[in-house]
Structure 1
Amino acid sequence: MAQKITKSAKDIVKHALSSVTAISAEDALAQANSPDHVFVDLRDGAEQAKTGIIAGAVASSRGMMEFHIDPESPAHKPEFNLDKTFVFYCASGGRSALAAMVAMDMGLSPVLNMTGGVAAWKKAGGTLT
């Protein structure tokens, strides 16, 4: 008997996008140097290496994010202990919305999802290093 998939990836991303507070790339750009914000790149390492990341961002691939957030994990990244606003982003905004929803479920707060991801960031005049 074949699997019966009841929710599509598109459905799950749509739910995540409606569950997480969004920030436009333009508004995120204005916060890029803010000491109150931590940008988190959820793309995989190959994508990050190919295009670069936002200066100062935490590289945390979607597959490792939960382990990076969890202070009990050997893979924990101390940037997630900071009392700051976390701005999650990926290539276009879908993976980061999923990650942001899970991060909020884990207790990380506040978390924002950058609408349009790296593509919107570049269009708004943002650079990657």
Structure 2
Amino acid sequence: MTIRSARDVVAQARAGVTILTAEDAAAEVGAPGTVFVDVREAAELTRSGTVAGAVHVPRGLLEFQADPASPTHEARLDPAKRIVLFCASGARSALAARTLQDMGYADVASVEGGFSALEKAGAATTTT
């Protein structure tokens, strides 16, 4: 059995999902039918804030909160909507986007460069 590095797993995820530039993603903030999902940990949001209107779903809980049959389902994670995921750099969000695709979500994307890139691109942000 060959052990793959985290870098390889992230590269494979990125190759299979839509990757948005921060500028393109920032233009979608607040768009009807688009849900931004922050997959960073709570402490990261406390330090830096998040995108205005974003749903916070830590990466480790994504599958449970995306599953409508789960008792911890997050109703704003609607498979009929466009889901734009971001993290600190784009690695966790690429993995999360791949996971949602595997779960049947059709329109998902990951933001390259993560939250700091979204801030630099002018995305509306808020503190937590």
Partner of 1:35: 32
1:114 aligns with 2:111: yes
**Superposed counterparts of 1:79-90, under 5 Å:** 79-81=76-78, 83-90=80-87
Asked if the contact 1:60/1:68 (under 8 Å) is kept, the reply is yes
Runs of 4+ residues deviating >6 angstroms: none
Deviations 1:36-56 (A, max 9, x none): 210000001111122111111
* 2:43 equivalent to 1:67: no
Aligned to 2:46: 49
1:100 Cα deviation from its structure 2 partner: 0.6
> What is the Cα deviation at residue 82 of structure 1?
5.5
**CA RMSD between the two structures:** 1.3
| 1:5 Cα offset (Å) | 6.1
TM score, norm. by length of structure 1: 0.92
Alignment partner of 1:123 is 2:120:
yes
Q: CA deviation digits over 1:79-125, x for unaligned, max 9? A: 11262110000000000000110111001120011111112112212
Structure 1 match to 2:16: 19
Show structure 1 runs of 5+ residues with no match.
none
* In 1, Cα distance between equivalents of 2:60 and 2:111: 19
- Identity across matched positions, percent: 45
Q: Does the Cα contact within 8 Å between 1:51 and 1:128 map onto a contact in 2?
A: no
| Number of equivalent positions | 126
- Partner amino acid for 1:26? E
Q: Give per-residue Cα distances to partners, 1:50-82, cap 9 Å, x unaligned.
A: 211111111000000111100111110001126
TM-score by length of 2: 0.93
Q: Are residues 56 and 12 of structure 1, via their aligned partners in 2, closer, same or farther at CA, if it must alter by over 3 Å?
A: same
